[in-house]
């Protein structure tokens, strides 16, 4: 797969063809790629909510009604919308769950290896909890790694996509009951097929030149 061509081809879609739906097989493939996104020390501090019905997308669109109305049509017309959520706390239960899953997946040759992994992960969690005091920001950065994985995955599957930060996270959290579940919404991703009315589809891609963004040592 030529990932460079994918990166050059993909762009932020501004309008969707509401009549076109993504096949379930394609959605399943993208979600499986999303589930395998990288995260620091495999912390996986995220949860993803997928809306594919008109009712579900309308619930998400409530968060754009005040101040972000320009994003409402994207949410309603896209085939699917994914809400990327981040944990509000790195709980002991979550850390234990990740460790247990690693063990079930055969990551440890013995109890000593399991203990070492647990100690290493908790070292970084506590570094951000107590020393750097940025654990929420650190967890959100992992969620954005997942967003990048999804964007490239969508391009590989021939889908158009739009990452959206323009929404009221407090309203969305309340609508979905996220905070009671220990999560908060961070970013949404619209997925589908662009409309012929999408002005951005015909514009050339623009990035700063390589000489400006790379330093070689």
Q: Which residues contact 148 (CB under 8 A, 6 or more apart)?
A: none
- Beta strand residue intervals within 46-88, DSSP E: 46-51, 80-87
Catalytic residue selected from 32, 165, 170, 205 = 165
Q: Which residues contact 63 (CB under 8 A, 6 or more apart)?
A: 167, 168, 169, 171, 172, 175, 185
Please, is 84 exposed, middle or buried when counting C-beta atoms within 10 Å of its C-beta (0-12, 13-18, 19+)? buried
Residues 5, 9, 11, 15, CA torsion sign: negative
Catalytic residue selected from 14, 57, 141, 180 = 14
74 an active-site residue?
yes
165 an active-site residue?
yes
Report the C-alpha gap between 192 and 65 in whole angstroms: 22
What are the catalytic residues? 14, 74, 165
């Amino acid at each position: 797969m030529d990932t460079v061509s994918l990166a050059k081809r993909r762009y932020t879609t501004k309008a969707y063809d509401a009549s076109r739906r993504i096949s379930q097989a394609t959605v399943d493939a993208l979600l499986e790629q999303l589930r395998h996104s990288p995260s620091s020390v495999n912390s996986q501090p995220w949860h993803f909510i997928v809306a594919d019905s008109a009712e579900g997308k309308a619930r998400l669109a409530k968060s754009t009604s005040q101040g972000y109305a320009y994003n409402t049509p994207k949410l309603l017309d896209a085939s699917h919308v994914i809400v990327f959520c981040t944990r509000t706390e790195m709980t002991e239960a979550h850390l234990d769950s990740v460790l247990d899953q690693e063990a079930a997946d055969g990551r440890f040759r013995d109890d000593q290896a399991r203990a070492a992994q647990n100690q290493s992960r908790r070292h970084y969690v506590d570094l951000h909890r107590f020393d750097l005091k940025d654990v929420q920001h650190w967890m959100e950065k992992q969620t954005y790694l997942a967003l990048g994985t999804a964007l490239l995955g969508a391009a590989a599957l021939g889908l158009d996509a739009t990452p959206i930060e323009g929404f009221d996270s407090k309203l969305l959290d309340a609508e979905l009951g996220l905070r009671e579940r220990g999560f908060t919404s961070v970013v949404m991703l619209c997925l589908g097929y662009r409309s012929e009315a999408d002005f951005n589809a015909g514009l050339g891609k623009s990035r700063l030149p390589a000489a400006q963004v790379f330093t070689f040592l």
